[in-house]
Chains A and B, each alone.
Chain A
Amino acid sequence: MVQLALIDPGLTTATDWQAAAQRRADVRIVDAATADAVVVAKLSDVTRALTDGQHVLLCPSAVTSVADAEGLANSDGPIVMLASVDRFSPSIEQIHACIVGGQLGNPGLLRIHRWLPDTGNIDSVRLVAEFDLANWLFGSLPCDVYAVHRGGSGAYAHAHLGFPNGSMALIDVAITLPEGDDYFSLSVIGGDGSAYADDHHNMHLVYGGGQPTAHRSGEGVTGLVNLLGEFVAAIDESRPALPGPTEARAAQLVADAARQSIDAGRPLALAETGDAYELA
């Protein structure tokens, strides 16, 4: 049983964490004083928790650079996991399972649209999360990164990634939707098949006069439940939890390359060391 304290739940509400924990027999939400694991949203809280011997679920927005991610490395002792729910959402889990199971063949193309109402800053949160998904689904860092953006405040960013064996990805993130629902779609084209997770497919219609309005069937807290499952399993098995500091560093590395590409107007290529990007 993991005794989890919500020190700072970040963008996910405490209510959702509570709801997710209620669906698991191996997690209980407790006060900080009795916790053996914590949810935090600041790097300083990570240090404090690790010193106290507590496992950590870190809200991804806390990590804004490669150095931040490297600072989380903790080879021994308590586990540090990013509380990034994207990998664990039911739709994306299914697509990942299809890739790993070989049903789609060699993945050749990934397309992600992530459109949000104005939530502040794309770079520090969303684009990095999509890069983590891309790295995870292809199982490697991209070998080429090209990116463009629009709007001085970074209201829109688009990244064009090349992966080994000719695979590729297009990712765009916008924070220009009006207040209200967001939109997400992710598709994978493989050598033997394709898969689509698309909000467009999951809309219901409401007729209240004039044009109907569309309402999405969401995935509830299932993604958070699945995330807690990985966290608990990693603790039980004394192994790194995924995504952890290594994956956070990889996503930040791609984000850095994207920023450089936007500035230079040119693509960057993964260096021979496999650990840095340079202008192509």
Chain B
Amino acid sequence: MNSPDHDSVFRCAVVSVVKHAYVPNGVEVHPRFELVVVCDDADQPDWVHERNQLYADEHEIPYVRGIEEAVAAHDVQVAVISSEAERHCELAVRCAAAGLHVVQDKPMSNRISECDRVVEAVAAHDVRFMMWNRNFLPALVEAKRVIEEGGIGKPYAFHVDFYFAKDSGPPRGSRGPDDPPINWLERQIEAHSDGSDGGVGVDPMGELKIEGIYPLAYIQHLAGSRVERVYARTASHFHQANLDNDVEDLATVTLEMENGVIGTLCIGRIGAASHPDIGEIKLHVLGETGGLVISEARPEVSVYYRNQPPLEFRHRRMAIDLDYQLMEDFARAIDTGGGGILDAVTSREIAATVQAAVDSGKSGRVETVA
């Protein structure tokens, strides 16, 4: 039986929820986490307030324009941050300063200096921090088990393919000679309706920054090695919005890690026509006595029927326990003072790896991870 302290329920503030709301929705899956209020700064634009209000209404909790006021009034212990990317860290620092544990949506930030502020704030105020991640997907749990049981010997190379078969506005080459470039934020706001607004914010972001934390967290989780050098190729191959804003939608990355471990990443938002489901997401791991090939989507169930909508996934993931396990891990981190599955320090290292990859894609050189 758990001790009474380990049964306590954490009251959570949803601190801005302008993206698709998988993070706060995932938090509330766990019975020890209760969403009690949505809040944001009063000076935010109308579209931000509208989305926050909508989420509050859907969950029948209040929306407060004023973060510190909401925290004080609602006896909150945890902040769930899902704002525009460039606000993530500022909000996390303020919440940590208020003594709140923090669950934060990806990316950690689009600036490493901001990530450093979070690392310092979390340590200074002795609160726990978790970047949202997918490390507890069933296939990842299986991969971790096989490696830890020595099934392939000491692993030395980790390869991840992380493709999202989604469109993202008009295709590359569709802009007329007299058309203006696509405004990034306007495009992301428009994309909210179909859930492809992962890069919402004023500053344009490519796929490495938007999604890179997931596959890089896989590699970090399985390898446990820090990335030292990065070589990358990047391209705006598919979408006009990426081309207009000089951010990649396709990238390949070579990672040189501690102890001679090698990693690679293929990542892209490759268009809805490219795969019948969300995309081919795979892990290939080589060890000194074997190899491991993992499909991240499995287990899944296949469903086909007459008049099936073209964009409906034919293969549906199932038995996904990710949200519960992430929050169970976070609860344990709070209870014990431990680091958890993806804490601030590790998240910052991954953000630095992403930045090195973006830099390498532009410089054509091998970049050292800061």
Contact = CB atoms under 8 A, between A and B. Distances in A.
Interface in A171-226: 172, 174, 176-178, 183, 185, 187, 189-194, 196, 199-200
B293 A193 contact: no
Contact of A148 (B251, B254, B280): B254
Contacts of A176: 286-289, 291
B160 to A, nearest CB: 11
A233 to B, nearest CB: 33
Contacts of B252: 109, 111, 160, 168-170
B235 A166 contact: yes
A158 interface: yes
Interface string A82-109: 0000000000000000000000001011
Interface string A129-159: 0000000000000001010101000001010
A158 B157 contact: yes
Nearest to B364: A280
Which interface residue of B163, B254, B287, B289 has the most chain A CB atoms within 10 A?
B254
Contacts of B61: none
Contacts of B233: 144, 160, 162, 166, 168
A267 B165 CA distance: 30
A174 B238 CA distance: 32
The secondary structure that dominates the B interface is: strand
A17 interface: no
A172 B156 contact: no
Interface stretch (B196-204, B265-273, B340-348): B265-273
A178 B254 contact: no
A158 B262 contact: yes
Nearest to A280: B364
Contacts of A160: 231, 233, 252, 254, 264
Contact of A174 (B171, B291, B295): B291
Interface string B231-251: 101111110000000000011
B263 to A, nearest CB: 9
Interface in B262-307: 262, 264, 266, 268, 270-271, 273-275, 280, 282, 284, 286-291, 293, 295
B271 A192 contact: yes
Contacts of A167: 235
A189 B274 contact: yes
A183 B273 contact: no
A188 to B, nearest CB: 10
Given A168-B235, A170-B254, A113 B284 contact: yes
A177 B366 contact: no
B84 interface: no
A109 B266 contact: yes
A109 B290 contact: no
Contacts of A162: 233
B286 to A, nearest CB: 5
Nearest to B284: A113
Nearest to A104: B274
Contacts of B235: 108, 166-168
Contacts of A108: 235, 237-238, 250, 268
Select the residue from A106, A111, A183 with max chain B CB neighbours within 10 A: A111
Contacts of A144: 233, 364
Given A167-B235, A174-B157, A183 B291 contact: yes
A266 interface: yes
Contact of A196 (B231, B254, B262, B280): B280
A246 to B, nearest CB: 26
Contact of A194 (B254, B274, B287, B365): B274
A53 interface: no
Contact of A191 (B165, B237, B284, B286): B237
Contacts of A190: 274
A115 B266 contact: no
A229 B3 CA distance: 74
Nearest to B363: A280
Given A176-B288, A177-B290, A196-B280, A150 B366 contact: no
A265 interface: yes
Contacts of B237: 106, 108-109, 166, 191
Contacts of B4: none
Contact of B268 (A146, A169, A183, A189): A189
A190 B235 CA distance: 12
Given A168-B233, A174-B291, A265 B366 contact: yes
Q: Can you list the 4 inter-chain pairs with the closest CB atoms, starting with the nearest?
A: A166-B235, A168-B233, A194-B274, A108-B237
Given A190-B274, A194-B274, 16 more contacts: A108-B237, A111-B252, A144-B233, A148-B254, A158-B262, A160-B233, A166-B233, A166-B237, A168-B233, A170-B252, A176-B286, A176-B287, A178-B290, A189-B163, A265-B366, A267-B364
25 contacts: A106-B237, A109-B250, A111-B161, A146-B366, A150-B262, A160-B233, A162-B233, A166-B236, A168-B233, A172-B264, A174-B157, A176-B286, A178-B289, A183-B293, A185-B293, A189-B163, A189-B268, A191-B171, A191-B238, A193-B271, A194-B270, A194-B275, A196-B280, A267-B364, A269-B364
Interface of B: 156-157, 159, 161, 163, 165, 171-172, 231, 233-238, 250-252, 254, 256, 260, 262, 264, 266, 268, 270-271, 273-275, 280, 282, 284, 286-291, 293, 295, 364-366
